[in-house]
Amino acid sequence: MTTCPFPGLSRSLVPAGPVSFSQVCEIMPVGVMTCDLATFTIDYANRYSIELLHSIRDTLKIDPDAIIGTSIDVFHKVPAHQRALLSDTARLPHKTRIRFGDEWLDLHIHPLPEPGGRVSRALLVWAIATAEVLKEQEEYRLLRMIDDMPVAVMTVDPATYLITYLNETSKRTLGQIEAHLPIQADALLGASIDVFHKHPAHQRKLLADPANLPHRARIKLGPEVLDLQASAVTGTDGAYLGPMLTWSIVTKQVAAEARIQQLAHYDTLTGLANRTTFREHLEALLAPAQAALGLLFIDLDGFKIVNDSNGHLVGDALLKRVADRLRERCDRPGIVVARLGGDEFAIVVPGGEIAALEAFAASLIDALVAPYQIEAERRLQVGASIGIALAPVHGSDPETLLARADMALYSAKAAGKRTFRLFVPNMETRLHERLRLEAKLRHALEADEGLFLFYQPITDVRTRKVTAREGLIRWHHPVRGWISPGEFIPVAEESGLIREIGDWVIRRACRDAAAWEDQARVAVNVSPRQLGIGTLAPAVLGALVASGLPPDRLEIEVTESALLGDEQDALADLRRVRDMGVRVALDDFGTGFSSLAHLRAFPFDKIKIDGSFVQDAVRRPDCAAIVRVVADLGHRLGVTTVAEGVETEAHLDLVVAEGCTEVQGFLLGRPAPSASDIPLIAALTEAFAVRPAA
């Protein structure tokens, strides 16, 4: 029987019978070696040890077959440390890992006591652990990566619902909301997941079944909002190991999302529903067949003047007050209020009773007309016009209802404003007629057919000499005959044709005036839409060059209301024109806002007193006083004053007595065409007069 190489081992470990312990070691699937602690040399190595050493011989740099008698130092980069460890048997047993190139060895060192307790040898049991080491390293790297992730990660035991892991981000982030947790952030490891949910039973049921995962939810803890996503973690065999929770604080993001939602669906200024949201509401309310409702389309009367004369900040404040009054009046179930843009609002009212809707519209107008206290010393007032359309009578889709309510609103405006109108079919007819009128006017302008200038003289009161003539546009419609400017000018204003018409008037007036033998000046009115856009000066220059008319024989007339928009840009346009030598007159003086401020802001050459003051001055001392004050103001400023609307001798005597220098009106001359246009106008008038009735 072979002697056991490990005399210190218990005899119970040694197989009985003829098989020796060394034979057992030879077939063991681990490396077994013994080391003499006196010389630190290897005095036994089993066969598996030799095979393992052959697998790492390139990094070991010894002959594995000659390992017996070799120093133990070959297995350690710091031999002194290893020898110190082996010398102190109190530190044994000991486990360590040793790296050889790409391979890792797991080494277990045990003392081998002899009879009597003396230890002179050590048992070394080892195996290559490279795969296990790599797995552990991968797990370590993964753990470090999870720890460094910018989102919080936790794992939960699905049996106990206790938190089994928190990454570093979890700890930091939870520290920010610790005041809203029932437990301190440092104590969460091992705590129940219930601390994050108001309904623990629901949460536990969710996490217990991987079929419910992944699942996403937002949880509110105090003022903070957590975005939580639970995912299922499974083993290599597919078994459910438990949930992994990733989460982050999204309070600011939620607030931003709410803000974006607000901006997308509600008007930023008033907080009312915007056009998109209103249309969605209207579409939903119209979805049921034969749904009955009323649509009110509201436009503020005089808002533009208030906004332009007081500034946009005041205008915005006024719109907010209007919205508040609409909310107050419409605080009833089912009513939807919206701001469609600018000073336009819309209201949907359930039910289609005409009398009730008209009474409601009248009450809204009364509410909106009342003065608004915008600032401590600023009270403003606007009116309101309302168009009403009914569903399903006037339409069963949003586009049709809105279009017909808009037509009714247009009719209310035309009726004098501050009133309401219910849509009737002939409104659509009138709209189509207006569109046809616009098309005919556009054609007349493009073809230069049917448009004429009539000229009314402006006379010096002392010499009774004509000093200027004002050009007034007239239009002969091919079917309707002569159409009043009061009808087609608003169409031109709304369609944008007024700018082209204004340029045409300047060109024609300069051409006609160049042929006048008396060398009188020609005056043309400029629309507010021609000012402030930088096109007036080029149009004037082109007309002067083409006609050869001296600049000082052209007068540009603007009303005060034309200066209420972009005043600085408008005045800049007028300065460019005046720098050419063209005269500039302020028309309809006294009917607008901040008249004296306009006189101070621009050196007008002429002030025209509105005819309403002149005609009333004969019987009203206050109007006579206004004429006198303006005439005196013009005299002091060195500016010509023209009294408009002089139709009787009494009018003439009064304005002369009050100090006006020039007059204009039917008494001294009615508008008449230029000499070159008289034959054509006569032919058109005669042809239309004998035309058979349609």
Q: What three-state secondary structure class fits 32?
A: strand
Tell me the mean pLDDT in the region 406-434.
87
Strand-pair partners of 161 = none
Q: Check residues 648 and 171 and name the one with the higher pLDDT.
A: 648
- Beta carbons within 8 Å of 315's beta carbon, 6+ residues apart: 303, 306, 307
Residue 572: CB atoms within 10 A of its CB come to 15
Residue 565 has a pLDDT of 54
* Res. 451: pLDDT tops 90: yes
Residue 683 has a pLDDT of 87
Residue 143 has a pLDDT of 60
pTM to 2 decimals?
0.52
Q: What is the pLDDT of residues 643-694, one digit of tens each?
A: 999 999 999 999 999 999 999 999 999 999 999 899 998 888 887 765 554 4
| Distance of alpha carbon 301 from alpha carbon 226, whole angstroms | 50
Q: What is the pLDDT of residues 108-161, one digit of tens each?
A: 889 888 877 888 888 888 887 766 666 665 555 656 666 666 778 888 888 888
Whether 101 contacts 59, CB under 8 Å: yes
Side-chain-side CA neighbours of residue 11 (13 Å):
4
Tell me the mean pLDDT in the region 559-573.
75
Residue 13 has a pLDDT of 40
Residue 476: CB atoms within 10 A of its CB come to 19
In 630-640, which positions are buried (b, 16+ CB within 10 angstroms) versus exposed (e)? bbebbeeeebb
Whether 167 contacts 151, CB under 8 Å: no
Strand-pair partners of 346 = 297, 338
| Distance of alpha carbon 409 from alpha carbon 393, whole angstroms | 17
Q: In what order do the strands lie in the sheet with 293-301?
A: 336-341, 344-350, 293-301, 383-391, 420-422
| Distance of alpha carbon 210 from alpha carbon 156, whole angstroms | 13
The two three-digit tokens of residue 337, written as one number = 């209020």
Q: What is the pLDDT of residues 243-265, one digit of tens each?
A: 888 877 777 877 776 676 666 67
Question: In the chain, what are the domains?
Answer: 11-134 (3.30.450.20), 149-255 (3.30.450.20), 267-423 (3.30.70.270), 435-604+664-680 (3.20.20.450)
Tell me the mean pLDDT in the region 292-316.
87
Tell me the mean pLDDT in the region 470-490.
90
Residue 566 has a pLDDT of 57
- Beta carbons within 8 Å of 280's beta carbon, 6+ residues apart: none
| Distance of alpha carbon 38 from alpha carbon 26, whole angstroms | 25
N-to-C CA span, the chain: 142
Helices 251-265 and 275-286 meet at what angle, rounded to 10?
A: 70
Q: What is the pLDDT of residues 63-96, one digit of tens each?
A: 888 889 998 888 777 778 778 888 888 888 888 8
Give 221's pLDDT tier (boundaries 50, 70, 90).
confident
| Distance of alpha carbon 147 from alpha carbon 153, whole angstroms | 8
Write the burial class of residue 278 (CB in 10 Å: 0-12 exposed, 13-18 middle, 19+ buried): buried
* Res. 178: pLDDT tops 90: no
Give 612's pLDDT tier (boundaries 50, 70, 90).
confident
Residue 369 has a pLDDT of 92
- What does DSSP say about strands 119-128 and 103-113: parallel, antiparallel, or unpaired? antiparallel
Residue 12 has a pLDDT of 38
Whether 303 contacts 338, CB under 8 Å: no
Q: What's the mean pLDDT when you consider all of the chain?
A: 84
Percent of the chain predicted with pLDDT > 90 = 37
Reply yes or no: is the peptide bond before residue 214 cis, omega within 30 of 0. yes
Q: Where does 17-128 have alpha helices with state H?
A: 21-26, 47-55, 57-60, 79-87
Whether 304 contacts 240, CB under 8 Å: no
* Res. 620: pLDDT tops 60: yes
Residue 6 has a pLDDT of 43
| Distance of alpha carbon 498 from alpha carbon 530, whole angstroms | 8
* Residue found under tokens 């209103």: 278
Give 9's pLDDT tier (boundaries 50, 70, 90).
very low
* Res. 294: pLDDT tops 80: yes
Give 195's pLDDT tier (boundaries 50, 70, 90).
confident
- Beta carbons within 8 Å of 4's beta carbon, 6+ residues apart: 14, 20, 21, 22
Residue 423 has a pLDDT of 92
Q: Check residues 7 and 226 and name the one with the higher pLDDT.
A: 226
Give 640's pLDDT tier (boundaries 50, 70, 90).
very high
DSSP class of residue 15 equals P
* Res. 236: pLDDT tops 90: no
Residue 139 has a pLDDT of 56
- Report residue 144: phi and psi, to 5°: -65, -40
Residue 190 has a pLDDT of 84
